[in-house]
């Protein structure tokens, strides 16, 4: 089978959630007999490159409006690529993608991975809703990334007859092995510490995490960069949070070392813009206990309350603090949660399981 993936951004060095998902999906499906092509936009212009698991084709992005990349050349490129594709696999949301779909009159079987509702752009959402609903109605199947999101999305409620849930899976072999000496050094220098990994965006709830850790001695490492970085660093300074360490961007090797060395992972995202939480899934893969908020998305599907960690109400710094204290004061409990997290990853969240489910879906759509 030849699969054409279409998403606004994709490159080998991008580590956003959707990009990581596409990378792991193409890796596993290529080993199960699929030929993958990924079409995305790039400011640098049109290009094509053959990677191990996919051919990457990039159309020139002409301009960007409300995080929506626009490319005039992509209409022609997309239409050409669909001719040899068996399946067109869209990654939602990206309103421009819907326009390309209709303008090129796609005749091939289509599937949409529904990564998130449109949450923040309320004005755009108002005008976009008719096109969104027409687009979702036109495709062959819609895949939510967790049962939680399928149940809680008001948009997907209108398309339940064609919607299924396939959890995102990760292939641990795509990560570097952790370095024993670096892990030992981190533990020797900092002892036990909590870890957050992610882009520092508005929906990550980090202000509540900083409030939660105030007047405590628990070390907290915040890994990542983003629009709120300076604001959060200033907040930490004003509150004299000397136990909070802003690490910034790190390499995959450094990230793996931090995941192996940490005591627990804290993921305070408080809005539905956090549709899944791949950083949480990485924590489960490394057998770490987790703390997250209940926002009706994949976060509390990955991390089940009192199974693999603790789930607290969103925007509740006190509840977050109590959860952190519970783990900190009970290493045996934290260890038990970590073991359960690893077992849950192996049972539900491997890339192999994800790949097999998608190939089954692809085959059904081709043969229907």
The span from the CA of 344 to the CA of 189, in Å, is: 31
The structure tokens listed for 166 are: 């396939």
Look at the alpha carbons of 248, 291, 277, 93 in this order and tell me if their dihedral is positive or negative: negative
Per-residue model confidence (pLDDT) at position 123: 66
Mention every residue, 6+ apart, whose C-beta is less than 8 A from residue 116.
Answer: 92, 93, 272, 273, 275
pLDDT in tens, 206-221: 999 999 999 999 999 9
Burial class (CB in 10 A: 0-12, 13-18, 19+), 335: middle
Tokens 């609903």 -> residue: 133
CB 142 within 8 A of CB 105: no
Residue 22's region, left for phi above 0, alpha for psi from -120 to 50, else beta, is alpha
Q: CA distances (Å), 113 to each of 26, 95, 116, in order?
A: 14, 14, 9
Domain boundaries in the chain?
A: 2-171+350-367, 172-348
Q: How far is CA 301 from the centre of its chain?
A: 13
Strand partners, 314: none
Q: CA distances (Å), 161 to each of 107, 157, 200, in order?
A: 21, 9, 36
The structure tokens listed for 290 are: 């987790």
The structure tokens listed for 11 are: 């490159």
Superfamily of domain 172-348, CATH level 4: Glycogen Phosphorylase B; (3.40.50.2000)
The span from the CA of 23 to the CA of 114, in Å, is: 16
Tokens 């990457």 -> residue: 56
> Structure pTM?
0.94
CATH topology of domain 2-171+350-367: Rossmann fold (3.40.50)
The span from the CA of 14 to the CA of 283, in Å, is: 19
Residue ranges of E strands in the chain? 2-6, 35-42, 47-50, 55-60, 63-65, 68-70, 87-92, 110-114, 141-144, 163-165, 194-197, 220-223, 244-248, 264-267, 290-293, 309-312
Per-residue model confidence (pLDDT) at position 13: 65
The helix (H) or strand (E) run that includes residue 281 is helix 278-285
The span from the CA of 343 to the CA of 160, in Å, is: 30
The structure tokens listed for 237 are: 């300074």
CB 117 within 8 A of CB 111: no
Which ranges of 119-262 would DSSP assign to H, the alpha helix?
Answer: 122-138, 147-152, 180-190, 206-213, 229-238, 252-261
Q: pLDDT 10s digit of each residue in the chain, 368 long?
A: 999 999 999 976 666 789 999 999 999 999 999 999 999 999 988 999 999 999 999 999 999 887 789 999 999 999 999 999 999 999 999 999 999 999 999 999 999 999 999 877 666 777 889 999 999 999 999 999 999 999 999 999 999 999 999 999 999 999 999 999 999 999 999 999 999 999 999 999 999 999 999 999 999 999 999 999 999 999 999 999 999 999 999 999 999 999 999 999 999 999 998 999 999 999 999 999 999 999 999 999 999 999 999 999 999 999 999 999 999 999 999 999 999 999 999 999 999 999 999 999 999 999 98
The structure tokens listed for 81 are: 């690529």
Per-residue model confidence (pLDDT) at position 12: 66
């Amino acid at each position: 089978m030849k699969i054409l993936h279409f998403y606004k951004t994709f490159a080998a060095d991008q580590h956003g959630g959707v990009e990581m998902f596409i990378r792991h999906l193409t890796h596993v499906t290529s080993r199960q007999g699929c030929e993958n092509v990924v079409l995305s936009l790039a400011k640098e212009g049109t290009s094509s490159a053959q990677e191990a698991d996919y051919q990457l084709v990039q159309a020139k992005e002409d301009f960007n409006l409300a995080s929506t990349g626009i490319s005039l050349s992509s209409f022609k490129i997309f239409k050409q690529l669909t001719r040899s594709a068996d399946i067109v696999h869209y990654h939602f949301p990206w309103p421009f993608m819907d326009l390309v779909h209709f303008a090129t009159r796609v005749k091939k079987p289509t599937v949409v991975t529904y990564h998130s509702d449109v949450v923040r752009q309320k004005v755009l959402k108002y005008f976009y809703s008719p096109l969104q609903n027409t687009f979702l109605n036109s495709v062959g199947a819609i895949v939510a990334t967790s049962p939680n999101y399928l149940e809680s999305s008001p948009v997907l409620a209108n398309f339940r007859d064609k919607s299924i849930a396939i959890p995102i899976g990760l292939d641990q072999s795509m990560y570097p092995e952790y370095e024993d000496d670096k892990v030992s050094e981190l533990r020797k220098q900092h002892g036990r510490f909590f870890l957050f990994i992610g882009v520092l965006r508005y929906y990550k709830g980090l202000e509540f995490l900083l409030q939660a850790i105030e007047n405590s001695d628990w070390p907290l490492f915040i890994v990542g960069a983003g629009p709120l970085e300076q604001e959060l660093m200033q907040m930490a300074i004003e509150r004299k949070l000397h136990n909070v360490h802003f690490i910034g961007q790190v390499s995959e090797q450094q990230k793996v070392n931090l995941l192996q060395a940490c005591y627990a992972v804290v993921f305070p995202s408080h809005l539905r813009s956090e549709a899944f939480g791949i950083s949480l899934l990485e924590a489960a893969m490394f057998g770490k206990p987790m703390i997250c908020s209940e926002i009706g998305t994949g976060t509390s599907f990955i991390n089940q309350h009192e199974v693999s960690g603790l789930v607290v109400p969103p925007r509740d710094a006190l509840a977050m603090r109590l959860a952190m204290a519970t783990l900190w004061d009970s290493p045996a409990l934290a260890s038990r949660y970590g073991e359960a997290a690893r077992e849950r990853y192996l049972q539900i969240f491997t890339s192999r399981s994800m790949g097999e489910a998608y190939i089954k879906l692809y085959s059904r759509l081709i043969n229907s």
